[in-house]
Amino acid sequence: MTTVDPLDVLEAVAGLDMRPVRLPGVTVLRTQDRPDAGVGNAVHHREPVRVDQLDEVLDDAARRFGHPQTTPRAVVHHDRQLHDAAVARADVAVSALVSAVLDEPVGTPAAWPRRDDIHLGAPTDDRGWHAVSVLHRHAAGDAEDAHGEDDDRARGGQDDRLRWWVAGQRQLVALGRARIVRAERFGTPVGTATLVWEPRVEVGQDHAGLAVITDVIVHPAHRRLGIASTMVAALLDAHLAAFPRALVATLADASLEEPLLEAGWRVDARLSVLERRG
């Protein structure tokens, strides 16, 4: 049964502007031009962290990032005691992520519903990419997306950061490192999804390269209609046709674990994202 380090999955979707620096036991992600990007200003701990190391881990993250607008994060492999201790503290914000893979055989689950009334296509011009940016306002449908980004997207309060993020995705596509699909229903953009391709990650002898499904977004008025599964299936069909031995993974908020299981994913790892409040 194949597994993948969830930190490899998280770093694969970090984007071109986020420079990972591998150090003994940790990877430091730093985004010089966007100190407000939580996912891109973080310390990823590759070794287990004990509950009595919580303050040490948070202090270490604070020392590494000196910009006043930066709230650095520590990302650790999930430990129940550590996670519960962090949740119990008023001065620590904590969120949980799950890493999931598609089980063998590699391929798109045939059971995934695919709507034939949805037009799928890649954004090809500025107008198409603008539509992707607008759809990003509705990421996850709540105040927090799969990376733990807590912002008021629905009212456009983070448009500058969203434009920056989508511009990074556009660069990945141009470099052959990502595929993006946009869904239209009745002529209106209603969803977008991304597959990021990282061929250099070690994923075992039976596989070659890591493909990560990320940023699956459907407008709230069009959810629970099979649009998300239609987009993901299309991305995987295209990618696996070209790279049939890719390991397919995704990373999502822990609240989405049950829907992932129902959709054919196997959750095999968890992460805790920690940061100091205030």
Query: Does the pTM exceed 0.85?
Result: yes
Kindly give, in sequence order, each residue whose CB lies less than 8 Å from that of residue 166, ignoring residues fewer than 6 positions away. Answer: 129, 132, 133, 136
Phi, psi dihedrals of residue 233, rounded to the nearest 5°: -60, -40
Sign of CA dihedral 209, 258, 158, 127: positive
pLDDT in tens, 27-59: 999 887 787 777 788 999 999 999 999 999 999
In angstroms, the CA 93 to CA 61 distance is 14
Please say if the pLDDT value at position 223 is more than 70. Answer: yes
What pLDDT score does 142 carry?
A: 40
Partnered with residue 49 across adjacent β-strands are none
For 71-95, give the secondary structure using H, E and C: CCEEEEECCHHHHHHHHCCCCEEEE
2-6, 69-73, 195-199: least confident range: 69-73
Which residue in 114, 269, 253, 243 sits closest to 179, CA to CA?
243
Using a 10 angstrom Cβ sphere, with 0-12 exposed, 13-18 middle and 19 or more buried, the burial of residue 139 is buried
Please name the residue ranges forming H helices in the chain. Answer: 6-12, 54-64, 80-87, 126-135, 159-174, 227-242, 257-262
191 contact partners, CB below 8 Å, separation of at least 6: 135, 182, 183, 216, 217, 218, 219, 222, 227, 228, 231
Regarding predicted confidence, which is higher, 278 or 199? 199
Residue type, position 38, single letter: G
Distance (Å, whole) CA 141 – CA 217: 8
3-state secondary structure of 212: strand
Q: If we measure between CA atoms, which residue out of 119, 160, 120, 118 comes closest to residue 137?
A: 160
Burial grade of 246 (CB within 10 A; 0-12, 13-18, 19 or more):
buried
Using the predicted structure, report yes or no on whether residue 236 has a pLDDT greater than 50: yes
pLDDT, residue 104, reads 63
Residue 277: CA count within 13 A, CB half-sphere: 10
Mean pLDDT score, 155-170:
79
Please tell me the predicted confidence (pLDDT) of residue 156.
52
- Residue 248, φ and ψ in degrees, nearest 5: -100, 125
Q: Which is more confidently placed, 116 or 271?
A: 271
